[in-house]
Amino acid sequence: MKELQEMWKQVLQKIEMMVSAVSFDLWISPLEVVDYNKFEKLILSANSAYAKKQLLKNHTEHLKSAIEEVFGEDTPFEILDPEEKDEFLKKNTIDSNQAVLGKDAEEQKNAFNPKYTFDNFVVGKSNQFVYAAARSVAENPGKRFNPLFIYGGVGLGKTHVLHAIGNYITGEHPELKIKYVTCEKFTNDYIDSLHGSNKEQGINKFREKYRNLDVLMIDDIQFITNKNETQEEFFHTFNDLYQNNKQIIIASDRPPKDIATLSDRLKSRFASGLIQDVQSPDFETRVAILRKKTQLEKYFIDDDVIQFIAEKIDTNIREMEGLLSKVYFFATLLGKKSASIEEAKEAFKEDLDEKREDLSAENIIDATCKYFAVSKSDLTGKKRSKEFVEPRMIAIYLIIEILELPLVAIGKLFGGRDHTTIIHARDKITEQVKEGGKIKTFVSAIKEILNREN
């Protein structure tokens, strides 16, 4: 490992001479070497998904040439984001678990994401019951709520809760054997056990691994295949653990009754415990989650930016966190401690633009009227004085930009004007927005009204 570190240091030194100091500090120097495995592939990790994206976009060539100089020609490398890194480490830990029996307990400890704890989980109306159930199970595994079945949409904290249970139990009861797997991993493990040279030995090992446990957690059970054999094995694993008062915890994106591939007898087994859903967080909870995350990651983020993110994204928490790290890095790029609300909006332009499909031409016309305090009939009518012409052209421009409606349809909305008039309005405003004067300000202000009110 010493040598590897030394080599990586050389790579860094080379890149430092190729890129700007800001880019180096921001993107290159936080890279970590995760692995240099037997296929001689260098696995690196970036400190956020956004950082990874930036690295791939702007620094692939720099990395490639510096790595090749130090590690040899055609050395492949890969950059992982934090989530992928967790996956990678987990996978490798589990693989070596199989190889080195006896090291189980110690390595299982590392299988849980240390950030996914109960302490870091913000409790609100949407998730209080899941939190309470998870806590109770963590404190008394196998005694209450068995099995515990948690379901809810993407990015609402199910995996976080499973890891929190895992972290809690490994901390409080290190003697307990606890295992977390995704449904996919369980299935693959089972299939692998059948394909070894000695099938019986394979199956026995599999059973030893999955039945000799105090707590078994299976994530994303909705991916269970209707291949009979795997479900059969899962059913027996379940029964075996259950009869011995061992805790079983399952997470899914939908309730058991809606998992088409799940056999009826498993559905009824799950129904014998507690089935608890986690809902989308309300605005206050979303703000609290973002504040918590800001604290944990040591980001500096203005509160109005936090509120803005919480307003814009109302379900997927992972998506909110993505914007948070994005705005943090954006500010760093600008050489600032934290970004202003305007800068945040600039940083999110790509992310938020696509979210406006819900708008109608009516909304845009209303917002424009409101901003300029003109009546709708004046805005869309024939009057040619400047106080109406300019707002009219801006409304047309916005409808084209945001909704991409056909020109003829837009003409109809404005008293049957023909498409050349519409094109003229679009081009004129486009040009003025580029110039960046007061028209640009008007356009942004109206967009803001649209964002706020729709």
Q: Which residues bind ligand ADP (CB under 6 A)?
A: 116, 120-122, 127, 154-160, 289, 292, 317-318, 321
Q: Which is nearer to ligand ADP, 47 or 363 (CB)?
A: 47
* Residue 318 contact partner, candidates ligand ADP, Mg ion, none, CB within 5 to 8 A by sort of partner: ligand ADP
Q: Single out the segment in contact with Mg ion by CB under 5 A; choices: 154-162, 321-329, 350-358, 397-405.
A: 154-162
Q: Under rule CB under 5 A, how many of the chain's residues touch Mg ion?
A: 2
Which of 128, 244 has the CB closer to ligand ADP? 128
Partner from Mg ion, ligand ADP, none contacting 273, C-beta within 5 to 8 A by type: none
Task: Give the residue with the Cβ less far from ligand ADP, 218 or 289.
Answer: 289
Work out what residue 155 binds among Mg ion, ligand ADP, none; the CB cut-off runs from 5 to 8 Å by kind.
ligand ADP
> How many angstroms separate the Cα of 285 from the Cα of each of 135, 241, 448?
19, 36, 24
Does residue number 47 form part of the binding site for Mg ion (CB under 5 A)?
Answer: no
Q: Is 159 in the site for Mg ion (CB under 5 A)?
A: yes
Residues ≥6 apart with Cβ < 8 Å to 425? 392, 393, 396, 397
In this structure, which amino acid lies at residue 328?
Y
373 three-class SS:
coil
Q: Kindly state the smallest distance separating residue 162's Cβ from ligand ADP, in Å.
A: 8
Cβ-based nearer residue to ligand ADP, 23 or 252: 252
Q: How far apart are CA 343 and CA 346, in angstroms?
A: 5
Closest listed residue to residue 186, CA positions, set 137, 146, 153, 232: 232
Q: Which is nearer to ligand ADP, 33 or 288 (CB)?
A: 288
Residue (159 or 230) nearer to ligand ADP, CB: 159
Which residue in the shown chain puts its C-beta closest to Mg ion? 159
Minimum distance from residue 299 beta carbon to Mg ion (Å)? 23
From the CB of 222, what's the least distance to ligand ADP, in Å? 11
Q: How far is the CB of 290 from ligand ADP (least distance, A)?
A: 9
* 403 in Cβ contact with 448 (< 8 Å): no
The least CB distance from residue 225 to ligand ADP, in Å, is: 20
- Residue range at the interface with Mg ion (CB under 5 A); choices 40-48, 65-73, 159-167, 432-440: 159-167
Residue 132 interaction partner, one of Mg ion, ligand ADP, none, beta carbon < 5-8 Å per kind: none
- Cα-based torsion angle of the residue sequence 171, 177, 180, 181 in order, rounded to the nearest 10 degrees: 160
For residue 207, the partner it binds in ligand ADP, Mg ion, none, with Cβ less than 5 to 8 A by kind, is none
Calculate the CA 454 to chain-centre distance: 24
Q: Which residue has the tokens 């094995």?
A: 233
Which residue number, 127 or 338, has a Cβ lying nearer to ligand ADP? 127
Residue 93: exposed, middle, or buried by beta-carbon count in 10 A (0-12, 13-18, 19+)?
middle
Q: Which of 387, 396, 382, 405 is nearest to 428 (CA)?
A: 396
Beta bridge partners of 42: 36, 77
By CB under 5 A, tell whether 294 contacts Mg ion.
no
Could you tell me which residues come within 8 angstroms of residue 56 by beta carbon, excluding any fewer than 6 positions away?
A: 79
Q: Can you state the percent helix, strand and coil of the chain, rounding each to 5?
A: 60, 10, 30
In the complex, minimum distance from the CB of residue 303 to ligand ADP, in angstroms, rounded to a whole number: 17
Structure tokens at 39: 């296929």
Closer residue to ligand ADP, CB minimum distance, 189 or 321:
321
Query: In a 3-state reduction of DSSP, which class is residue 34?
Result: strand
Angle at 93 between CA 92 and CA 96, to 5 degrees: 85
Residue with tokens 């023909």: 418
* CB distance 142 to 245 below 8 Å: yes
Count the neighbouring beta carbons within 10 Å of the beta carbon of residue 17: 9
- Select from ligand ADP, Mg ion, none the partner in contact with residue 121, using the beta carbon and a kind-dependent cut-off of 5 to 8 Å: ligand ADP
Q: Which is nearer to ligand ADP, 47 or 380 (CB)?
A: 47
Of 193, 182, 168, give the one whose Cα is nearest residue 87. 182
Q: How far is the CB of 220 from Mg ion (least distance, A)?
A: 6
Residue of closest CB approach to ligand ADP? 157
Positions in the binding site for Mg ion (CB under 5 A): 158-159
